[in-house]
Amino acid sequence: MPRQRRSDDWGFPRWRSYDGKGREAAKVRLCDRVNCSEPGNCPAPKAPNKPDKWYFCEKHAAEYNKNWNYFAGLDKDEAAARAHDEQRDASGFRQSAHYQWAGPGDGSRSRDEMRALDVLGVEPDADFETVRKAYRKMAKELHPDVNPGDEEAAAEFQKVQASYDVLKKAEELRQALG
């Protein structure tokens, strides 16, 4: 009876001896964007209803999908019906906000609120008192009475004012909902 060889399998994770097998370089598909050397692990269709795909890195995939419209090609009623269905199907996940699993900056603020926070130069998880302080500071610097005749400062003041209005309405709504 021949003697059995000892196993090179050492359990999890599967460490095995280097016996010459599997030592080749792993093939990595690069991003299809010109001059990008990141791994391309995000497939994107080259054309609708075709199997051909581009493979982008995460940064270029985000750029590719930036202006993608889920409701493109639908009339107003179909878009409203689909939006209602999406909200209905996702409503069960809203319960997690009660347990504070989702914090500011990761879905609890709208896109407009996030843009307004960027205009004011405030962190996404800032409380409303911080927002108010940032607004007052910028309003004092950019107010048309302080900068008479400066059109650029007036336009910037209007942006800051609109951003604060968006955040104030959102805060009032949060307070009303409890």
Assign residue 123 the CATH number of its domain.
1.10.287.110
pLDDT reported for residue 73: 83
The dihedrals phi and psi of 55, each to the nearest 5 degrees, come to -125, 115
Domain that holds residue 138: 103-177
Are residues 62 and 114 both part of a single domain? no
Q: Which of 47, 69, 91 is the last residue of a domain?
A: 69
The answer to whether residue 113 sits within a structural domain is: yes
Same domain, 107 and 153: yes
pLDDT digits (tens, 9 = 90+) for 11-21: 555 555 555 55
Query: Same domain for 65 and 111?
Result: no
The span from the CA of 60 to the CA of 42, in Å, is 9
Residue 81 resides in a domain: no
Cis bond upstream, residue 13 (ω within 30): yes
Residue 84 covered by a domain: no
pLDDT range class, residue 62, cuts 50, 70, 90: confident
Query: Does the pLDDT at position 128 exceed 70?
Result: yes
In DSSP notation, 150-161 reads -HHHHHHHHHHH
In a domain, 52, yes or no: yes
CA distances for 108 relative to 47, 89, 97, 177, angstroms: 34, 18, 8, 14
109 and 63 in one domain?
no
Q: Residue 65's pLDDT is what?
A: 79
Task: Indicate the pLDDT class of residue 47, thresholds 50, 70 and 90.
Answer: confident
| Phi (first) and psi of residue 145, to 5 degrees | -70, -30
Q: How many folded domains does the chain comprise?
A: 2
Residue 128 domain flag: yes
pLDDT of the residue at 158: 93
Q: What is the pTM of this model?
A: 0.42
Q: Is 64 among the domain residues?
A: yes
- Confidence check: pLDDT of 108 > 90: no
Region 93-109 average pLDDT: 59
How far is 5 from 156, CA to CA, in rounded Å? 77
Better-scored residue on pLDDT, 48 or 123:
123
Q: How far apart are CA 121 and CA 50, in angstroms?
A: 43
Task: Report the pLDDT value the prediction gives residue 175, as an integer from 0 to 100.
Answer: 86
**Residue 51 domain-assigned (yes or no):** yes
pLDDT at 74: 85
CA pair distance 2, 58, nearest whole angstrom: 54
For residues 114 and 57, state if they share a domain.
no
Q: Say yes or no: 121 and 65 in one domain.
A: no
Q: Mean of the pLDDT values across residues 66-76?
A: 81
Which of these three, 45, 69, 93, is where a domain ends?
A: 69
Residue reference for tokens 């075709």? 50
Most confident range (mean pLDDT) of 71-75, 100-104, 169-173 is 169-173
Return the pLDDT at 94: 64
Residue 19 CB neighbours (<10 A): 8
Mean pLDDT taken over the chain: 81
**Is the Cβ–Cβ distance between 126 and 108 less than 8 Å?**
no
In a domain, 4, yes or no: no
pLDDT of residue 129: 94
